[in-house]
Each structure stands twice: as structure tokens, then as C-alpha cells.
């Protein structure tokens, strides 16, 4: 009997997979990937078989048959800019995920793997609130060079899910509050949210604080020099900035738990780098506070790194003057994926259709 929704969440440092029966999360696995494990794949789409097999083997190991699935829902990736919601995975969407329309990222595999597994059973595949959700105000798009637009790419799925949870805890609706939510994962997004709308944020793939595996915003003149130094190919430079940047570049690991062990063992370099990441996150939160004119109901930290007391205490000390400070460790992404699919399966909402007529340059 078909009774489960399979949710698939490929992140830059992990693959998370969960089975839901109705609202209940009945089984979940979170698998971390080291940089060494991932570096053998030239492009992120090359990780398709590897990540898909992890999921299929996990189902098999837990005696779950594919004919028990109602539908499959994946995290959505760097598609064309689009409104939030639940989208049916279609061929035009798959094409854009494969080319990485707005860039490469593990989340592009979410819809692709969901569709591949759903097709084995002839059931529907969906994505929910993908990385490319765009609610920016026009002023946030201006970069300083007319050829380059600031883009809305970040952890919309978790930020919205956590925003709803925080609002419920304050006996309010998400749409009533102004929040500053920082998702601290393999990538980092710092989002000023006005009445439920993410009106700005750093592009987590290319800007803002450095992260476990990304370089974040860099001095542009020095980047230009590096590009023309002749030392690196374009692909090598891209890898340095996403995948092999941040903690990975300085310390050889994307795992903050490992970094904390290094610090405990007296490694001063590890402490300087880890503190610098926390410092940059606090600075980004401070800057984004101006976007909503300091009228903020709560500053919230979420994502895998928000499990770290060391990191959250460091940030708290610097930002708690802004608004009440809350920590929501981990993510609500698996729940949010299931809820998005359930709204459609129960007929409460029509799935959105992905349109690919907007043209932008990568
Ligand atoms: N208990 C913990 N303490 C400190 N850091 C943690 C903990 N759990 C996970 N992390 C770190 O969180 C980061 C991954 O966050 P996550 O939100 O899972 O990212 P992604 O979805 O991009 O893979 C990694 O650097 C990981 O080491
Ligand atoms: C590209 C923005 C999304 C992102 O960084 O996700 P991860 O933290 O899962 O890598």
C-alpha cells in the first residue's frame, strides 16, 4: 500500500533523506560528506548516481519498497528566479537543474533525483521553496556595476519554515513579523524578512560570510588578479570559491565539529579561522538589520552550525542588542518538504508550474 512521502535534501556537506507517513517523520538519515569524498566529482551533477544510490540503498536497508511511496519531494535548486511554493518537477525544470541555470549546487540534484525515483513508480515528484525563490525588492538587486545584478539565492526553504515556527512560538503569524534569520549550513544565508517576505539576502553561493565550504564575499580587485594570474583554470577557481573555500580552504575540513576538536586541542589557527567565520556572520546580521530599519521582532540562528554553542555564543554577544535572540539548531527542511507535498496531495493547493521564459545570465 502506498503510504509514504519520500523527502530528499541534498546539501553541500550532507545528504538528508526522510520518510513521512502523513505528518509523522517515521525514518530519517543524515549523511555528512567530507571534501575528500566529494572532490572526485568534477561537477556537482556528477554526484547524481552517488547520492541517488545512498537513498535507494537506505530504503532497501530499511525494507521500504518503492511501491509504498505516494510521491517524492526534493529540495529545489538554482532555477530561474521564481515565487515560493510547491512545484511539480517537469522536464523544463530538469533541464535547468542539470545545467545549473543560476549556478552549481547540490540542491540542483534534489528535483532530479526525486523525479528519477518517482518515475520508477509513475508517481509525482515535487520541489518546495527552492534556493532560487526571489522576493527581493528592486533596490536589493543593484550591485554597483550595471552588468552584474545581486541575486536571490539562499536557504528559502528552511528560513521560511523556521520563520513560521518562531512566529507560532510568539503567538503571531509569520506575515506579521519582521525577522532576521541566519541559516548557518554548508552555505550561509542571512535574511532580513519583512512581514513574511525575504526582501534581501546575501547570495549564499557567492557573497556574505565565508562558510564551511565557501569563500563568501572577497575583495574584488584581488579576485580579478587571481583570475588572470595564470595559476588556475576557471573550474579550479570556481571550486576554490564553492566547495574548497572557507573552513575547508584554511583547515582542510568542512565539519565544524572537527574544527571545535582542533580548538579544544589548542590549535590557535583553527580558533582564529572559526572565530573569523562567526565574526563575519555577526557583521552580516548587523548590516542586514538596517534593511528593516532595526524594527526587528527576533534575530534567529538556524542550520547545522547553530548546534554549536561556541559559535552561537560568539554571535549572540555581538548581535543581541538588535532584538531578542533565538537559536533553532538544525533545520525544518524535511518537514517543510513534506508539508509542501501534502498541501498539494490533499488538494489544498495547486502545484505551481515552472515556467522558463525569464532570461538571466549566469
Ligand atoms: N552538533 C554540531 N555542532 C557543530 N557543528 C555542527 C553540528 N552538527 C552539524 N554541524 C555542522 O553544520 C554544518 C552543516 O550544516 P547543514 O545545515 O547540515 O548543511 P548542509 O545542508 O549544507 O549540508 C557542517 O559544518 C557540520 O559540521
Ligand atoms: C546556494 C544556497 C543554498 C546553500 O548554500 O545550501 P547548503 O548550505 O545546503 O549548501
Residue 213 has pLDDT above 80, yes or no: yes
Work out which ligand 1 atom sits closest to the CA atom of 106.
22
**Count of C-beta atoms within a 10 Å radius of residue 72:** 30
How confident is the model over 42-68, as pLDDT tens digits?
899 999 999 999 999 999 999 999 999
Question: What's the confidence (pLDDT) of residue 355?
Answer: 79
Is residue 285 very low, low, confident or very high in pLDDT (cuts 50, 70, 90)? very high
- Average pLDDT of every residue of the chain: 96
How confident is the model over 93-146, as pLDDT tens digits?
999 999 999 999 999 999 999 999 999 999 999 999 999 999 999 999 999 999
* All three cell numbers of 153: 539565492
* 340 close to ligand 2 (CB < 6 Angstrom): no
Domain 4-133+334-345 has CATH 1.10.287.1080: no
Mean pLDDT of 260-279: 98
| Fold equal for 4-133+334-345 and 173-331 | yes
Domain boundaries, the chain: 4-133+334-345, 173-331
Work out which ligand 1 atom sits closest to the CA atom of 33.
23
Dihedral angle sign, alpha carbons of residues 331, 328, 252, 222: positive
Is residue 362 very low, low, confident or very high in pLDDT (cuts 50, 70, 90)? very low
The 3-state DSSP class for residue 307 equals: helix
Nearest protein CA to atom 1 of ligand 2, as residue: 205
**Beta-bridge partner residues of 21:** 24
Mean pLDDT of 175-180: 98
**Beta-bridge partner residues of 86:** 128
CA 189 to ligand 2 centroid distance, Å? 8
Which residues have a Cβ under 8 Å from the Cβ of 229 and sit 6 or more positions away?
none
CA–CA separation, 40 and 54 (whole Å): 17
* 132 close to ligand 2 (CB < 6 Angstrom): no
* All three cell numbers of 321: 542588542
Residue 341 has pLDDT above 60, yes or no: yes
CA 295 to ligand 1 centroid distance, Å? 30
Residue 359 has pLDDT above 50, yes or no: no
Nearest protein CA to atom 4 of ligand 1, as residue: 308
Spatial contact of 278 and 203, defined as CB atoms under 8 Å apart: no
CA 10 to ligand 1 centroid distance, Å? 13
Pick from 102, 58, 55, 54: nearest CA to 78: 102
ipTM at complex level: 0.98
CA–CA separation, 292 and 194 (whole Å): 7
Dihedral angle sign, alpha carbons of residues 362, 221, 253, 284: negative
**Count of C-beta atoms within a 10 Å radius of residue 65:** 11
Which protein residues touch ligand 1 with a CB less than 6 Å away?
11-14, 185-187, 212, 254-257, 303-305, 307-308, 331
CA–CA separation, 28 and 174 (whole Å): 27
Spatial contact of 341 and 219, defined as CB atoms under 8 Å apart: no
What fold does the segment set 173-331 form as a domain?
Answer: Nucleotidyltransferase; domain 5 (3.30.420)
Q: What percent of the chain is modeled with pLDDT above 90? A: 96
Residue 335 has pLDDT above 80, yes or no: yes
Phi-psi region of 17 (alpha: psi -120 to 50; beta: other; left: phi over 0): beta
Phi-psi region of 280 (alpha: psi -120 to 50; beta: other; left: phi over 0): alpha
CA 274 to ligand 1 centroid distance, Å? 13
Q: What angle do CA 174, 309, 193 make, to 5 degrees?
A: 20
Question: What's the confidence (pLDDT) of residue 360?
Answer: 46
Pick from 33, 26, 13: nearest CA to 70: 26
Work out which ligand 1 atom sits closest to the CA atom of 14.
23
* 9 close to ligand 2 (CB < 6 Angstrom): no
CA 13 to ligand 1 centroid distance, Å? 8
CA–CA separation, 182 and 201 (whole Å): 10
Counting DSSP H helices and E strands in the chain, the numbers are 12, 13
How confident is the model over 323-334, as pLDDT tens digits?
999 999 998 999
Question: What's the confidence (pLDDT) of residue 348?
Answer: 95
Spatial contact of 204 and 107, defined as CB atoms under 8 Å apart: no
CA 231 to ligand 1 centroid distance, Å? 32
Is residue 352 very low, low, confident or very high in pLDDT (cuts 50, 70, 90)? very high
Burial of residue 330 (CB within 10 Å: 0-12, 13-18, 19+) is middle
Amino acid at each position: 500500500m502506498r503510504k509514504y512521502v519520500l523527502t530528499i535534501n541534498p546539501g553541500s556537506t550532507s545528504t538528508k533523506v526522510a520518510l513521512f507517513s502523513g505528518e509523522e517523520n517515521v525514518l530519517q538519515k543524515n549523511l555528512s560528506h567530507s571534501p575528500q569524498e566529494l572532490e572526485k566529482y568534477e561537477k556537482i551533477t556528477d554526484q547524481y548516481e552517488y547520492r541517488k544510490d545512498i537513498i535507494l540503498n537506505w530504503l532497501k536497508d530499511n525494507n521500504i519498497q518503492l511501491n509504498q511511496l505516494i510521491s517524492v519531494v526534493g529540495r529545489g535548486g538554482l532555477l530561474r528566479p521564481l515565487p515560493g511554493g510547491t512545484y511539480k518537477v517537469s522536464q523544463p525544470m530538469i533541464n535547468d537543474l542539470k545545467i545549473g541555470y543560476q549556478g552549481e549546487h547540490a540542491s540542483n540534484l534534489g528535483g532530479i533525483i526525486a523525479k528519477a525515483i518517482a518515475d520508477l513508480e509513475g508517481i509525482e515528484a515535487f520541489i518546495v521553496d527552492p534556493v532560487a525563490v526571489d522576493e527581493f525588492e528592486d533596490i536589493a538587486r543593484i550591485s554597483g556595476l550595471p552588468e552584474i545584478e545581486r541575486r536571490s539565492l539562499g536557504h528559502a526553504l528552511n528560513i521560511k519554515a523556521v520563520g513560521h515556527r518562531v512566529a507560532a512560538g510568539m503567538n503571531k503569524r509569520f506575515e506579521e513579523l519582521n525577522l532576521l534569520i541566519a541559516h548557518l549550513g554548508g552555505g550561509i544565508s542571512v535574511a532580513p524578512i519583512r512581514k513574511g517576505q525575504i526582501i534581501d539576502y546575501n547570495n549564499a553561493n557567492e557573497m556574505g560570510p565565508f562558510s564551511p565550504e565557501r569563500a563568501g564575499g572577497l575583495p574584488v580587485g584581488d579576485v580579478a588578479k587571481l583570475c588572470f594570474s595564470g595559476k588556475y583554470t576557471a573550474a579550479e577557481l570556481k571550486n576554490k570559491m564553492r566547495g574548497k573555500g572557507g573552513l575547508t580552504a584554511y583547515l582542510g575540513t568542512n565539519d565544524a565539529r572537527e574544527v571545535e576538536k582542533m580548538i579544544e586541542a589548542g590549535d590557535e589557527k583553527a580558533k582564529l579561522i572559526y572565530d573569523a567565520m562567526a565574526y563575519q556572520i555577526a557583521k552580516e546580521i548587523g548590516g542586514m538589520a538596517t534593511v528593516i530599519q532595526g524594527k526587528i521582532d527576533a534575530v534567529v540562528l538556524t542550520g547545522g552550525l547553530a548546534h554549536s554553542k561556541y559559535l552561537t555564543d560568539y554571535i549572540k554577544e555581538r548581535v543581541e542588542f538588535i532584538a531578542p535572540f533565538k537559536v533553532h539548531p538544525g533545520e525544518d527542511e524535511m518537514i517543510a518538504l513534506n508539508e509542501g507535498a501534502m498541501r498539494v496531495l490533499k488538494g489544498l493547493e495547486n502545484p505551481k508550474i515552472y515556467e522558463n521564459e525569464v532570461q538571466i545570465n549566469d
